[in-house]
């Protein structure tokens, strides 16, 4: 249950900050540019700069840095698994042999790079959801994909599905926490034993959770049909999106920062061995 208490991905934290007041389309485009810049980085120094940028953004949005960093907790196992795969199964100059497994210099570089990329990918994606409400996120996604509607692309349906998914992440976490507490009150030992023992004891939690998920999905579908929901055709918004000068400056600043980071990354190749 401590794991669920630290789960922040998909949550929205409203504060009176400049980043919260930005247009959702600006934040979506800026996040896409940031993730692109992260995947272009090759040196550890550049990843340190990305970490500093994340701390600055968290301060500007008035969010506790511990909350932002806590969003990467659910993927730590995936990061560790990915890093070990690249560490032991990458061909190159051998350094250490552990039985049949060989650690190479190229494997260390690739494992470190992929681990950093996965962590920052989750952190910046979570930062987007922490500073943008689900409704604003849906409106921004629909607006960005609206030019593709003429080609048959379901922009409104895609935005609605993503919004519903993000909206129900905290709800499902609360339901999971409630079910786990109920099972523990009945004598279940969910946090004792080895990994397989815990996995087996977690089945009484998964079964009612799946029942609740399908029940909530059916209730939502019935509610939408009872309100004569027909999709995005002809629908209007209570708060129309408005692109301001601050959005243009913010997006331009992010693009400029990525260009500078990429230039620094290329110049570091003369002094520092790249991770890749």
Three-state SS string across 254-265, please? Answer: HHHHHHHHHHHH
Same domain, 226 and 261: no
Assigned domain for 223 exists: yes
- 73 is in which domain, residue-wise? 1-132+244-276
Assigned domain for 182 exists: yes
Instruction: Provide the domain count of the chain.
Output: 2
Backbone φ, ψ for residue 102 (5° rounding) = -125, 130
The SS3 assignment for 95 reads strand
pLDDT tens digit sequence for 208-261: 888 888 888 888 888 888 877 776 666 667 777 888 898 899 999 999 988 888
For tokens 């279940």, name the residue.
Answer: 188
Distance CA 47, CA 51 (A): 6
User: What per-residue confidence (pLDDT) applies to 1?
Assistant: 47
User: What per-residue confidence (pLDDT) applies to 81?
Assistant: 86
**81 to each of 87, 101, 199, 257, how far by Cα in Å?**
10, 15, 18, 31
Same domain, 235 and 253: no
Same domain, 122 and 254: yes
Compute and round to an integer the Cα radius of gyration of the chain: 22
User: What per-residue confidence (pLDDT) applies to 212?
Assistant: 85
| Token digits of residue 180 | 């786990």
User: What per-residue confidence (pLDDT) applies to 164?
Assistant: 79
Assigned domain for 8 exists: yes
Assigned domain for 236 exists: yes
The SS3 assignment for 103 reads strand
Same domain, 125 and 251: yes
Spatial contact of 75 and 126, defined as CB atoms under 8 Å apart: no
Same domain, 111 and 196: no
Categorise residue 16: left if φ over 0, alpha if ψ from -120 to 50, beta otherwise: beta
Same domain, 106 and 37: yes
Same domain, 12 and 93: yes
Distance CA 175, CA 181 (A): 10
User: What per-residue confidence (pLDDT) applies to 95?
Assistant: 78
DSSP symbol at 186: T
- pLDDT by position in tens, the chain (length 276): 444 445 555 577 888 888 988 999 999 999 999 988 888 887 777 888 888 888 998 888 888 888 888 877 778 888 888 888 888 887 777 777 777 777 888 888 888 888 888 888 888 988 888 888 888 888 888 888 888 888 878 787 787 787 777 777 777 878 888 888 887 787 777 666 666 676 677 777 788 888 888 888 888 888 888 877 776 666 667 777 888 898 899 999 999 988 888 887 777 654 444 444
Angle at 251 between CA 44 and CA 154, to 5 degrees: 105
H-state helical runs in the chain:
2-5, 18-21, 24-40, 44-60, 65-70, 76-88, 105-131, 134-145, 155-185, 195-201, 203-226, 245-268
User: What per-residue confidence (pLDDT) applies to 3?
Assistant: 44
Same domain, 120 and 255: yes
User: What per-residue confidence (pLDDT) applies to 215?
Assistant: 86
Same domain, 165 and 52: no
Same domain, 3 and 118: yes
Assigned domain for 152 exists: no
Assigned domain for 235 exists: yes
Assigned domain for 147 exists: no
Assigned domain for 64 exists: yes
For tokens 């023992």, name the residue.
Answer: 197
Same domain, 115 and 230: no
Same domain, 190 and 217: yes
Distance CA 135, CA 164 (A): 9
């Amino acid at each position: 249950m401590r794991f669920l208490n630290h789960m922040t991905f998909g949550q929205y934290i409203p504060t009176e900050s400049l980043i919260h007041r930005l247009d959702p389309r600006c934040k979506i485009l800026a996040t896409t540019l940031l993730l692109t810049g992260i995947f272009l980085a090759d040196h550890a120094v550049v990843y340190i700069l990305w970490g500093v940028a994340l701390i600055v953004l968290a301060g500007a949005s008035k969010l506790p840095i511990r909350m932002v960093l806590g969003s990467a907790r659910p993927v730590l196992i995936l990061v560790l698994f990915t890093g070990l795969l690249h560490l032991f199964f990458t061909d190159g100059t051998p350094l250490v042999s552990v039985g049949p497994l060989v650690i190479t210099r190229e494997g260390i570089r690739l494992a470190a790079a992929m681990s950093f990329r996965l962590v920052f990918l989750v952190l910046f994606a979570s930062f987007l959801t922490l500073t943008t409400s689900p409704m604003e996120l849906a409106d921004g996604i629909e607006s960005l994909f609206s030019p593709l509607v003429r080609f048959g692309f379901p922009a409104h349906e895609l935005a609605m599905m993503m919004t519903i998914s993000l909206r129900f992440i905290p709800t499902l976490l609360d339901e999971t926490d409630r079910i786990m507490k109920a099972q523990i009150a009945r004598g279940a030992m969910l946090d004792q034993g080895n990994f397989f023992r815990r996995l087996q004891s977690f089945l009484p939690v998964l079964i009612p959770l799946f029942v609740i998920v399908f029940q909530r999905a059916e209730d939502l579908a019935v509610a939408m049909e009872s309100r004569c929901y027909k999709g995005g055709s002809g629908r209007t918004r209570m708060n129309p999106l408005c692109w301001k000068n601050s959005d243009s400056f913010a997006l331009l600043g992010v693009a400029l920062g990525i260009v500078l980071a990429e230039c620094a990354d290329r110049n570091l190749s003369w002094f520092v061995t790249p991770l890749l």
